[in-house]
Chains A and B, each alone.
Chain A
């Protein structure tokens, strides 16, 4: 068994010998490669065999004052082509986004509701999440006090661990109201992180590394905190229990507290976004080592390719752990903030 593993590992690393000089001596732009893979696209690029590019074209939905509603397939905009006055801008302010030239000559953006790669990935991941969770829930409907086994048992361990150790301990009494939202957030982030690590279709889309997605998650937490805030909570923000000179004439402490109300969800957003995006960037950077050293001769190329594959495999393991930890920390901090907002009046003596 050990010998077989060693042979597989050696074959895995030696597969770089096939790299060779597949590319003509065109300059490999590492920054463009990385940013195009962690950014959003109108087509889901899968691979390129020789000259043929294989990608899944996605629907483009545009709403505009001048041109009305336009829905078409994004393959019409390939290679810089223009369709009904719309084109994908090459660079500048709206790089890689659909623009059109208005009658006044200005280049501007329509209301873009397209199903881009990240939107499509979010739809796929939500479908997977619904299938997993609803099938587990359906098992419990006909359970009659059995203990779950197999997949349902494993899911129960995950769910009850988050429920008891995170949600119940952070919120205390009345945690049942918030458990659905917090458990949903945990599994949503977890599934999206895991699917982002799978390098082929339908995985590999950088959803939680997109700041728009994490912004919405942070806004949901902000809404949960604000709507569950008791009167005592708002009193402690706007008129805290501090010496009077910090409140009048200049409301120093209230200003700091209001600032804090916004920075806590903001930190949640940035933490998740930066962790996942940085992980993908590192893996993409290590992979591009192979292409950057192509022009430096076969020996350097093979050596760097072997090193790149080993490091990228290690980084993927690290990213698996980071995926779970980031989902856990987001849920934990949301639960802690919600628990803090449900503060009761302290006994003053």
Chain B
């Protein structure tokens, strides 16, 4: 309770908005990394099991990576607005 009052009093000097934006951007990068990493791992495994389908798998991997990255970029846009 006292902490909250102190935090509110010091808020303009602490630039909490900018701190939140930076943390959010970092979190979004971690999320995108994990998501696209899993997609890449699954694609590698699939190409290893059936090398003839490599072209189809590569195209699907790129498309789904773009979709996951789209979700992470929603977060980046919000962080830009909070910067």
Contact = CB atoms under 8 A, between A and B. Distances in A.
B74 A274 contact: yes
A279 to B, nearest CB: 11
A274 B63 contact: no
Interface in A232-281: 267, 270-271, 273-275, 278
B23 interface: no
Interface residues of B, number: 12
Chain B interface secondary structure, helix, strand, loop or mixed? helix
A274 B67 contact: no
A270 B76 CA distance: 10
B77 A274 contact: yes
Contacts of A332: 63
Chain A interface secondary structure, helix, strand, loop or mixed? helix
Nearest to B64: A329
A271 B73 contact: yes
A268 to B, nearest CB: 9
Contacts of B62: 325, 328
A328 B70 CA distance: 14
Contacts of A275: 69-70, 73
B15 to A, nearest CB: 12
A114 interface: no
Interface string A301-332: 00000000000000000000000011011001
Contacts of A278: 73, 76
B19 interface: no
Interface string B40-83: 00000000000000000001001100110110011011000001
A325 B73 contact: no
B59 to A, nearest CB: 8
B21 to A, nearest CB: 11
A160 to B, nearest CB: 15
Interface residues of A, number: 14
Contact of B73 (A31, A274, A328): A274
Contacts of B73: 270-271, 274-275, 278
A234 to B, nearest CB: 26
A325 B66 contact: yes
B63 A329 contact: yes
B55 to A, nearest CB: 10
Nearest to A329: B66
Contacts of A328: 62-63
B22 to A, nearest CB: 12
Contacts of A270: 70, 73-74, 77
A136 to B, nearest CB: 24
A328 B66 CA distance: 10
A278 B76 CA distance: 8
Contact of A271 (B59, B66, B83): B66
A41 B66 CA distance: 30
Interface string A29-64: 001000000000000000000000000000000000
A165 B58 CA distance: 14
A110 B45 CA distance: 59
A110 B76 CA distance: 32
B66 A274 contact: no
Nearest to B65: A325
Interface in A57-79: none
Contacts of B83: 31
Nearest to A275: B73
A280 to B, nearest CB: 12
Given A329-B63, A332-B63, A271 B70 contact: yes
9 contacts: A165-B59, A270-B70, A270-B73, A270-B77, A271-B70, A271-B73, A273-B77, A275-B70, A278-B73
Which 3 pairs across A and B sit closest by C-beta, in order of nearness?
A274-B73, A271-B70, A329-B66
